[in-house]
Structures are given as C-alpha cells and as structure tokens.
C-alpha cells in the first residue's frame, strides 16, 4: 500500500504541470489562430471592396457607351456606385479609344469607352497594420464598345 500512495502522489503532482503546459500551449495556438482569423477577415473585406470597385467601373463604362451619355452622367453613375459601396475617396478616368478605324467612307469605326478607378487601400482596411500586406491602391478597369453610329 505504501507503493500505491507514492504513485498517487506523483501522479497528482504532475497534473498541475500538465494543466499549466496546456494553458501555455492554448495561449500560443489561440494567438496564432486569432491572428490568422483577423487576417482572413481583412482580406475578405478587401476582396469585397475590389468587387464593388469593379462593379462601379463596369457601370460607368456601360453608361459611357450609350449614344446619349455625357461625361457628367458617367461621373454620376460611378459616384452613385462608389457611394453605395461606402467608398468616399477615389479617382477615375474616362478614355475613348478607336479599336477599329473607320472604313474608306469614314464610317463603321469601333470606339471603346474605358473607365479606370483607383482607390487608396488605407481607407478600406478594417485593421490598418503592416502585419497584413495589402497593395497601396485598389484598381479596376472596364471597357465596352460604344453603341450606335460613331
């Protein structure tokens, strides 16, 4: 019986050590998992914003290709879409390029309207830290052929 008492004591003495080691291991692993989770959420947020910026560029380009569109109507469309996405600071450019030159009679040229939007990433991140690498700017481009007579 004296052996049983010794075994019981030595077994009981190691239990607190195991609990302490488990707590330290949990603290280390939980910290890493928490950092990973925050990084995933932040990247997911950035991907959402990229999609919203791309949608704004597409909507602006669609507005630009309609025969009766004006630069003001394109700007309003882009501003509306960016407002719905809660993106306040952005720049955009609207360019017109000839994709297919006119024929010998000066007709049938194909003109493309291109909208390019740039947004500083700093205003979009949930956690503004250098631990999670993100680009300085998010960028979206959309281009459509102009409708109607050119």
Beta strands in 5-147 (DSSP E): 91-100, 110-120, 137-145
In the chain, the N- to C-terminal Cα span, in Å, equals: 104
Q: Give the bridge partners for 114, in sequence order.
A: 95, 143
pLDDT digits (tens, 9 = 90+) for 103-148: 766 677 788 899 999 999 888 877 777 677 778 899 999 999 886 6
Cβ–Cβ < 8 Å for 64, 115: yes
What is the predicted pLDDT for the residue at 67? Answer: 85
Tell which residue, 99, 107, 106, has the closest CA to residue 145: 99
Task: Note the pTM of the prediction, 2 decimals.
Answer: 0.74
What is the predicted pLDDT for the residue at 104? Answer: 65
Q: How far is CA 125 from CA 104, 129, 133, in A?
A: 53, 9, 11
Q: Which residue has the higher pLDDT, 54 or 132?
A: 54
């Amino acid at each position: 019986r004296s052996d049983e008492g010794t075994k019981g004591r030595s077994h009981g003495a190691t239990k607190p050590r195991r609990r302490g080691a488990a707590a330290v291991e949990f603290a280390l692993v939980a910290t890493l998992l928490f950092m990973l989770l925050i990084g995933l959420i932040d990247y997911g947020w950035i991907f959402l914003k990229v999609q919203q910026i791309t949608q704004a560029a597409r909507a602006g380009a669609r507005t630009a290709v309609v025969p009766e569109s004006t630069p003001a109507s394109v700007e309003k469309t882009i501003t509306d879409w960016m407002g719905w996405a809660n993106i306040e600071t952005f720049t955009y450019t609207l360019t017109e390029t000839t994709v297919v030159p006119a024929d010998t009679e000066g007709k049938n040229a194909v003109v493309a309207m291109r909208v390019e939007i740039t947004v500083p990433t700093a205003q979009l991140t949930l956690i503004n830290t250098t631990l999670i690498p993100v680009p300085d700017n998010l960028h979206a481009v959309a281009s459509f052929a102009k409708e109607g007579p050119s």
